[in-house]
Structure 1
Amino acid sequence: MNGFKKFLTQGNVIDLAVAVVIGAAFTALVQAFVGNLLTPLISAFGSLPDFASLRFTIGESTFMYGTFLNAVISFLMVAAVIYFLVVRPYAHIKERTAAKVESKTRECPECLSEIPKPASRCAFCSAQVTPAQTA
C-alpha cells in the first residue's frame, strides 16, 4: 500500500491530474467562446447558421453530411481560437525570454566541442584557447 501511496503523491501524477482538470476547464471555455460568440457571428453573415439539416439520400439511406460540416467548422474554429489566443502568444513570450538567456559555453576552435566561455584550455583536445569575455 505504501508503494501505491508513493505513486499517487509523485509530482508527475499530480501534475498530470492538474493538467487534465485545467484542460477540461479550458475546453469548456473555448467551446463556449466558439458556440456563443464565433458561430453567431458567422450566422450573421451567412444564411445558414446550422448545417445539421443538410442531407442527401441514396436509395433508402439518408446521409446527414450537415452534422459533419458542423463538426468540421467547430473544430476549425476551436483550433483557430487556441492557435491565436494560446499558441502564438506563448511562442512570442518564449521567444522573448529565450533571447535574454546568454549562452555560457562556446565552441573550441580546434575540436569544435562545447567548452565554458572563460576556459583557457579545451577539456576535450587540450588545445590552448583564448578565454572569452563574459558579461
Structure 2
Amino acid sequence: MLKGFKDFLLRGNVLDLAVAVVVGAAFTAIVTSFTNNVINPLIAVAGGANDLGWGYQILADNPATFINIGAVITAVINFVIIAAVVYFILIVPANAAKKRFITEPADKKASEADLLIQIRDILEASLQTDGAATSSDGAHAMPAEKAAKLEQTRE
C-alpha cells in the first residue's frame, strides 16, 4: 500500500500540479498587489466624490449591507490578467513546442481491419485475373507467386 502511495506521489502529473499551485499562488500575489495599488485607485477615481467609491450601503445604519461593486470589478480584472498570462506565457508556447518537437509517425501501421481488406482485395484481384485453378475439394488454390506477393503486403 505504501509503495502505491509513493508511486502516486512521484508521478510526473502530481509533481507538475504541485509546482503549478506554488507558482500560481506567487503570481496571484503579484496580480493582487497590482490591482490593489493601481487598478483600485483608478476605480475609486471613476467612482466620483462618494466615500464608498462604486460601493453602495443598502441600510445606512448597518455596515454589513455594504455592496462593493469595485471589489467585484477588481476580482474580474485579476482573473482576466491571470488567465491571459497563463494562456500567453504557458499554453501558447507549450502548444507550439508540441507541434514542433512531437511528430506523428510517417508510416502509420494499418489496423487489422485494413490489412484484412487489403488481403481480400488482393485475393479477389488474383482470382479474377488469373482464373486460379480449383483443388479437388472445390476450394480455390492460390499460385505460389501470388502467395509470396500476399506475404510481402502483410509486412
Deviations 1:83-118 (A, max 9, x none): 0000000011111123x433332668xx9x45xxxx
Question: Over alpha carbons, which structure has the higher Rg?
Answer: 2
Of 6, 25, 28, the match for 1:28: 25
Structure 2, gaps ≥5 residues long:
123-149
1:14 and 2:17 equivalent?
Answer: no
Residues 4-44 of structure 1, C-alpha deviation per residue, up to 9 Å, x if partnerless? x122222x3323542343022211342244345x648965x
Name the structure where strand makes up a greater proportion of residues.
Answer: 1
Moved over 4 A (4+): 38-43, 49-53
Figure out how many residues of one structure are paired with residues of the other and give that number: 112
Partner of 1:103: 106
In the TM superposition, what are the counterparts of 1:35-46 in structure 2 within 5 Å?
35=32, 39=35, 43=39
TM-score, with structure 1 as normaliser: 0.60
- For residue 58 of structure 1, report the CA deviation from its aligned partner: 2.7
Distance in 2 of aligned mates of 1:49 and 1:93: 43
Q: Does the aligned pair in 1 maintain the 2:56–2:68 contact within 8 Å?
A: yes
State the partner residue of 1:57: 57
CA RMSD of aligned residues (A): 3.7
Matches within 5 A, 1:69-108: 69-98=73-102, 100-105=103-108
1: distance between equivalents of 2:32 and 2:108?
A: 51
Report percent identity of matched pairs. Answer: 17
Residue pair 1:34, 1:77 contacting (<8 A) in 2 also: yes
Which amino acid is 2:105 matched to? Answer: E
5+ long unaligned stretches in structure 1: 115-121
Distance 1:7 1:106 in 2: 35
Helix, strand or coil at the partner of 2:10: helix
